[in-house]
């Protein structure tokens, strides 16, 4: 468990699963979940380099900023998704292809 490669591999797998969710899901909320997985993978990498590399506490600060950005992104994205649902009655991202009705 005490090796950098383990954490980097977990981060890589989490990132790839998130990417898979983003590219294959049709539902907007599910795409958002994929983005959250990607951000978590980035955080695992930051903290792994903070623990094993020379980043030290700076890695923790970056991870904290990533969490702040994820919170802001989730709030705005859900507001947009609810707006899309009110206008189109669906949140499947491939059906929303018009700028105005």
Partner 1 sequence: MADMVFWIIVGITIGSAFMVVQSKSLLYSAYALLFTFVGVTGLYVFLWADFLAVVQVVVYVGGILVLIIFGIMLTNKITSVNISHASMQKSAGAIVVLGFVGVLGYMVFNTPWVELANAEPAQTAESLGHLLMMDYLLPFEAASLLLLGALIGATTLSRKEN
Residue 38 makes contact with partner 1 by CB under 8 A: no
Q: How far is the CB of 101 from partner 1 (least distance, A)?
A: 14
CB-nearer residue toward partner 1: 75 or 97: 75
Which residues 61-80 are close enough to bind partner 1 by CB under 8 A? 61, 63-65, 67-76, 78-80
Residue 30 binds partner 1 (CB under 8 A): yes
Enter the DSSP assignment of 32.
H
The total of other beta-carbon atoms located within 10 Å of residue 1's CB is 4
Can you tell me the distance from the alpha carbon of 24 to that of 81, in angstroms, rounded to the nearest whole number? 18
Nearer to partner 1, 54 or 97 (CB): 54
Q: In whole angstroms, what is the distance from residue 37 CA to residue 22 CA?
A: 10
In angstroms, rounded to a whole number, what is the distance separating the alpha carbons of residues 56 and 58? Answer: 6
CB atoms within 10 A of CB 76: 10
* Binding positions for partner 1, rule: CB under 8 A: 1, 3-10, 12-21, 23-30, 32-34, 36-37, 40, 43-44, 47-48, 50-54, 56-58, 60-61, 63-65, 67-76, 78-83, 85, 91, 94
């Amino acid at each position: 468990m005490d090796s950098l490669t383990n954490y980097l591999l977990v981060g890589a797998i989490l990132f790839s699963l998130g990417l898979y969710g983003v590219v294959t899901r049709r539902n907007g909320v599910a795409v958002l979940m994929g983005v959250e997985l990607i951000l978590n993978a980035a955080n695992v990498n930051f903290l792994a380099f903070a623990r094993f590399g020379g980043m030290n506490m700076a890695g923790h600060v970056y991870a904290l900023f990533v969490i702040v950005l994820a919170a802001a992104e989730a709030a705005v994205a859900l507001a947009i998704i609810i707006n899309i649902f009110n206008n189109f009655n669906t949140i499947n991202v491939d059906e929303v292809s018009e700028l105005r009705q």
